[in-house]
Structure 1
């Protein structure tokens, strides 16, 4: 064989080896339509999901995250006595349970790892509490190192910033922690409380796993009854975008990297300006380069696409029909080529190709799964 052909052959073998590394999509669901946690393979070329398998029967196994090295999966049962499972991911995608611990409250609705991966942060919706669980060397979890109970007057029952005709009001009857995450530096932690219309601010000690309320300990939502839900940090960690569930608004918060405190900036609607009636904003996803922001609107059943300009301003690009009902969360794949939508009420996952400029185009291959809540993608060893 000609040396040039040998080189081409060896390069193609390398390319095949790189592509051959299996990717798995893990999908958490709600009972009864969903029966637990499902595993899918991800086609490296097309992004299509295949080989569906139920891999954990944990009830209402709706919230999950994967360790930074892709070896451990953390799965929350959104039950009255919340539990978190730590599961080892084998080379073939098989799961082995490491252990199971209490979530530090009731109804865990969000789990995230700190940047160094040594602590798991949990938001417990039903009890309105947050918890910090230590991650041991083998990936298993310890009992909560710290817990904090949200307390205060419930927020306004009706969202003042919602569009005309909206009846999007829910759970302003007490504390309901909805999300918790560390900033990219690992020094600060923020949690939202939908019921109290607050964003809590903490300083975080990565050694002890303790949270100390910052000054001020919380800030109010951008409008009364807004229902702060999920947020995403910029890649630089100088701020975050937060979606308000009841008002269907998106608020920018600048983050002071010294004090770890947030300052509210501009708020815009996540819905088209013509829209009237009820909708509940849900998940959001930011591209790795921080230039494209996508928001899920439940009832309007759309993905709002915003482009982030150089000065951080959001410019509305499009409203894309999800092809399903009640999109609860959005997942971008690791290369940012595909966007997956968890359509909770239509019991399916839809997939969109992401163009270099962030534009979405629907790929017509629905993936059936009962009441999908959240999806994370891991790469095999």
Structure 2
């Protein structure tokens, strides 16, 4: 579901836990322990991309500075060992045309400021997801509005070249109502044509997968390393786990054998076996991201996997919670717990590099909330510290 689709609703508080107060976290922050976080936002509440300092011990965010006024930033990804930041502008009128754009920025290690390297046409409208190949020499882009995926070469300076591959998703629109959604759900959006939502490689970089929410498909690609072409695998796509499910984002388990994918409209998590020889997926299990007795409308969103690969966290919009799902390397999943985000409409989740903190970017309440990950159990403990930022969409961290 896109930023411009508004559905009202708030759930009541699930729990309230206090932790380190903000003043203590700020006092503990030093130049030696701090690194940077970049937060992209949607206009008009957000002005562009903000840089924060992050305390390595407490995870606290401070010293907010606007570093780019790129409109409607959808996603970012860090390349070149933390030297380059790639930002997608989720618009459909770049340079007076009908596409969005992707910009490459050099990161100043002294203060985290950004300097533009170059900006290119994203080859479609609404670039909503960016990812890099493992080698870092290609940028992959999913354009949501137009349902187009593209690949771009990257040179040694971080500069983006002309697209090496562009593909338009085509096919019949998916079912209007998600068959596997909770009773009473009206989670119906954008099943009116192609809407590419994510694109990323497998850990080897040989294969690529892209999701299309509007067509209820997961596309399977081979990446030609010599020319950067996305070549259709066999089969070229598989259908979503259920009619109208709306495939959104996915993550690979650390063992590389299993993929966990969240379906936005159905609020269902599905696991797949990944065949490393053929680069194809086979469905394993499905599980709701909502508590067992929930009834009504919800849109599942961001997804992150704990460092040990045992706990999966999923953002639930409207329910305003983070679901904790216990997972295994064989694709098994079990509902574990839920945590109130302390905000409205959590669009994405970010896991700190050390795996000790989870951040919820609450788009409609204009704030970011932070949770400490409890060692062993993986449970989330709310840190009583809100970070104000207008319509946050995504956050990445740079050492």
What is the aligned partner in structure 2 of residue 79 from structure 1? 91
Query: Which of 61, 73, 89 is the equivalent residue of 2:107?
Result: 89
What is the aligned partner in structure 1 of residue 387 from structure 2? 367
Q: Is the 8 A contact 1:241 1:250 kept in 2?
A: yes
Query: Which of 331, 340, 352 is the equivalent residue of 1:333?
Result: 352
Report the 3-state secondary structure (helix = DSSP H, G, I; strand = E; otherwise coil) of the residue aligned with 1:171: coil
Q: CA deviation at 1:307?
A: 1.7
Larger radius of gyration: 1
Aligned equivalents of 2:374, 2:139: Cα separation in 1:
33
What is the aligned partner in structure 2 of residue 64 from structure 1? 76
Aligned equivalents of 1:207, 1:37: Cα separation in 2:
34
Q: CA deviation at 1:91?
A: 1.4
Query: Which of 52, 57, 62 is the equivalent residue of 1:45?
Result: 57
Q: Gaps (5+ residues) in structure 1?
A: 1-15
Q: CA deviation at 1:208?
A: 1.2
Aligned equivalents of 1:265, 1:309: Cα separation in 2:
12
Report the 3-state secondary structure (helix = DSSP H, G, I; strand = E; otherwise coil) of the residue aligned with 1:69: helix
230-239 or 121-130, larger mean C-alpha shift: 230-239
Q: CA deviation at 1:342?
A: 0.4
Q: CA deviation at 1:21?
A: 5.5
Q: CA RMSD in A?
A: 1.3
Query: Which of 15, 20, 24 is the equivalent residue of 2:32?
Result: 20
What is the aligned partner in structure 2 of residue 12 from structure 1? none
Q: CA deviation at 1:311?
A: 4.1
Q: CA deviation at 1:95?
A: 0.9
Aligned equivalents of 1:129, 1:176: Cα separation in 2:
8
Q: Gaps (5+ residues) in structure 2?
A: 1-27, 93-98
Is residue 175 of structure 1 aligned with residue 205 of structure 2?
no
TM-score (norm 1): 0.93
Deviations 1:225-246 (A, max 9, x none): 0000000011121121000000
Q: Is the 8 A contact 2:271 2:331 kept in 1?
A: no
Deviations 1:62-110 (A, max 9, x none): 2111015011000000000210110000112111110001111110000
Aligned equivalents of 2:199, 2:338: Cα separation in 1:
28
Aligned equivalents of 2:396, 2:266: Cα separation in 1:
27
304-313 or 230-239, larger mean C-alpha shift: 304-313
TM-score (norm 2): 0.89
Query: Which of 99, 118, 124 is the equivalent residue of 1:105?
Result: 124
Report the 3-state secondary structure (helix = DSSP H, G, I; strand = E; otherwise coil) of the residue aligned with 1:20: coil
Aligned equivalents of 1:359, 1:204: Cα separation in 2:
38
Aligned pairs, how many?
Answer: 363
